[in-house]
Amino acid sequence: MKKLKVPYLETLDVLDLSSVGFLMEKAQRESIDVVNWEEYPYKPIVAFDIARSKVNLYIRYFVKGNSLKALYEADGSPVYTDSCVEFFMKRVDDPNYYNFEFNCIGTCDASYRESRDSKKSLTAEEYASIRRFSSLPHTAFPEKLGVYSWELVVAIPFRLMGLDPDNLPEKIMGNFYKCADDTEFPHFVSWSPIGLPTPNFHCPEFFGEIYL
């Protein structure tokens, strides 16, 4: 089981997301590099920095891969079919989990789930509370082939994960993913390994430990 410690960086919340890069150099850096299914061998280069303030979890993704796609601009859309990065998490004592999925232009699909097929989606107000900054303009485009690099910074409120910022637990469980289901280079790469026969990210039994 993978483990990581999320550093506390006090001044994150006072900065615009486009300016947090220098501060996130003090964050914890991890790779999303586990190919879990041999029939999908393609692996883009993916890393992320993670840190927290008192009220938000910050994740900065770095991606370099062989194509780029973003068909969806509206939150709640199936962004996993685009060039997509994801964060899934759960409280230790909760059988259910949250998924936060973002395409390369920052469009988000998120919900509280019992399973892959049973979910409660975020409201428009909840989506608006997730701050995002992409190195790409927020404009949809069809798939483009070639080598592309992009970054995405997200700030997810702890309250949106069912956590009390004034009484955070010692740890949560979670995983980080990179996918692009409906592209020329479909892939399903994770931070913590997944021991299932076919691609499926909705598997909290394989979440790693994230210490807050």
Sign of CA pseudo-dihedral 52, 53, 57, 60: negative
Overall number of domains in the chain: 1
Q: What does each of the 212 residues of the chain score in pLDDT, given as a tens digit?
A: 899 999 999 999 999 999 998 899 999 999 999 999 999 999 999 999 999 999 999 999 999 999 999 999 999 999 999 999 999 999 999 999 999 999 999 999 999 999 888 999 999 999 999 999 999 999 999 999 999 999 999 999 999 999 999 999 999 999 999 999 999 999 999 999 999 999 999 999 999 999 99
Strands annotated E in the chain: 3-5, 28-31, 34-35, 45-52, 56-70, 84-90, 97-103, 108-113, 119-121, 131-134, 141-157, 171-179, 188-190, 208-211
CB contact at 8 A, 25 and 9: no
Q: CA-to-CA distance for 135 and 27, rounded, in angstroms?
A: 19
Query: Are 104 and 179 within 8 A, CB to CB?
Result: no
Residue entry with tokens 């709640």 = 76
Tokens 């949106």 -> residue: 160
Quote the pLDDT of residue 87: 99
Strand partners, 109: 101
pLDDT for position 101: 99
- The pLDDT value recorded for residue 140 is 99
State which residues form the domain around 157: 3-211
Measured in Å, how far apart are the chain's first and last C-alpha atoms? Answer: 17
Place of tokens 């393609």: 42
Threshold 0.95, pTM exceeds? yes
The CATH number given to whatever domain includes residue 108 is 2.60.40.1190
